[in-house]
Amino acid sequence: MAIFRKLVLWGALLLSVYPIDAHKTILERPKLQWGPKTPGRPFPHSPHRHKTCHVPSSSHSNNHKDIDSAPEIFKAFKQCNRGGRVVLDGTYTIASPLDLTFLEAVDVVLTGTIKFSDNIDYWVQNSFKYAFQNSSAFWRFGGKDVNIYGGGHGLLDGNGQAWYDAFATNPTLLRPILFVLDGLNAGSVTGLKMRNSPDWFNLVANSTDILVSDIDIAVRSESSNPAKNGDGWDTFRSNRVVIQNSHVNNSDDCVSFKPNSTNIIVQGLQCNGSHGISVGSLGQYPAEYDIVENVYVYNISMSNASDGARIKVWPGTDTPFQPGLSGGGGAGYVKNITYDTFYNDNNDWAIEINQCYGQSNQTICDKYPSNVTISDVLFKNMWGTTSSKYDPDVGTLTCSSPEKCVNIAAQNISVANPSGNTPQWICTNMDDGLLDINCVSASS
């Protein structure tokens, strides 16, 4: 009888959260595993969830207006935290900041559509702010053991067109990131579509043991003002992050490893229109010591990009690069980086190492070499054809001094140029004996 009474009370709790359509099937969590490359351990086990909260759609057919869903979403996470799942299978508008960094043992079943309001003046004042590169966010997830999945149906729409048009006239406009993991320990994001972020699509910050898989990213401007800075993913102060099996059509780095990214794997990505898969930029802030270490980039197809594999660090002095983006003078190191099995299709550079990022004056680069050292880097098994932009050159590996770049190797590289001429690689302060490519000096 006591057990029966507990079951009745538990059933009443479920109904009190949000009514659930008995005929509606809730998508089950996919099997979570990283591979084929792994950080050397299985993805952390996540127990079964035992309660469900359903968030009603925010669309109102009577007046054709959308209300802010943020309060209802927040309420659902409060009620289903610690062992539940929150179901978002309708249409929702988020028009106010949503802080979900308190979560523990929660699944998020996102098979509906979430759209963010484009009230620029409001978001500039009310978004979550990050000191690093003037970043901001609409919402953020954090805590422990959080799995967010959409089965290929869930859609996050950044409603970016108003931001693209405004940024064209105000290049210092503070634009929010579409999706932020901040302080998450053991979590996953799988099976989502992401469209038209105002700025970066994803930031993984201050997090550990993160799996990202089967994400479809695309950006498109409907005006003459292009989308800017639409990085696919940026990792920052995070350890053991795996990003895999995804498609990215964007306007900036496909993936970028920002300061203090360690033990990162990126694999099975198809990237188009990006700035490559990039280490950096690093050394931007004089008071900071930046580290990117133990990164493996595997099985990548990169098309119509400015770069394929890229490492970029700032010079040793302050450098004004773009409105709202300047830096230099910081220190640190890049160590144990591998780019393996990498297809290039119409990329300007197949490989770029730049130790004077943001500065075009070579005299300044020579006078103020970077304080960031680069060592133990391997590029291998790369092929394809570059664009005609720098033909016959297909890559550039430029370091401040031989002491700043140590043990950088290239093996089995067969990248061609459109003209069919012998591919040339610009190599400065490199150990040519480790480079199985046709190196020429910058002045050749």
- Counting beta carbons within 10 angstroms of the beta carbon of residue 399, is it exposed (0 to 12), middle (13 to 18) or buried (19 or more)? buried
Q: Which amino acid is at 298?
A: Y
Radius of gyration of the chain (CA): 23
In the block, residue with structure tokens 């591979």: 35
93: nearest Cα among 120, 64, 69, 111: 69
Structure tokens at 13: 């709790």
d(CA 103, CA 101): 6
135-158 burial: b if 16+ Cβ within 10 Å, else e: bbbbbbbbbbbbbbbbbeebbbbb
Set 48, 64, 153, 275: catalytic member: 275
- C-alpha distances (whole Å) from 298 to each of 340, 361, 362, 379 are 5, 34, 33, 10
DSSP state of 315: -
Distance in angstroms (rounded) separating the CA atoms of residues 46 and 186: 9
Q: State the CB neighbour count (10 A cutoff) for residue 363.
A: 8
Both tokens of 357, joined, read: 């990022």
**Rounded distance between C-alpha atoms, residue 96 and residue 202, angstroms:** 19
- Cβ proximity of 354 and 398 under 8 Å: yes
Q: Could you please report the per-residue DSSP string of 372-437?
A: EEEEEEEEEEEEEEE-SSSTTEEEEEE-S-TTTEEEEEEEEEEEE-TT-SPPEEEEES--GGGB-S
Q: At what angle do helices 2-17 and 70-80 cross, to 10 degrees?
A: 170
Q: How far apart are CA 205 and CA 10, in angstroms?
A: 36
Is 275 catalytic? The answer is yes
List, by residue number, the catalytic residues. 275
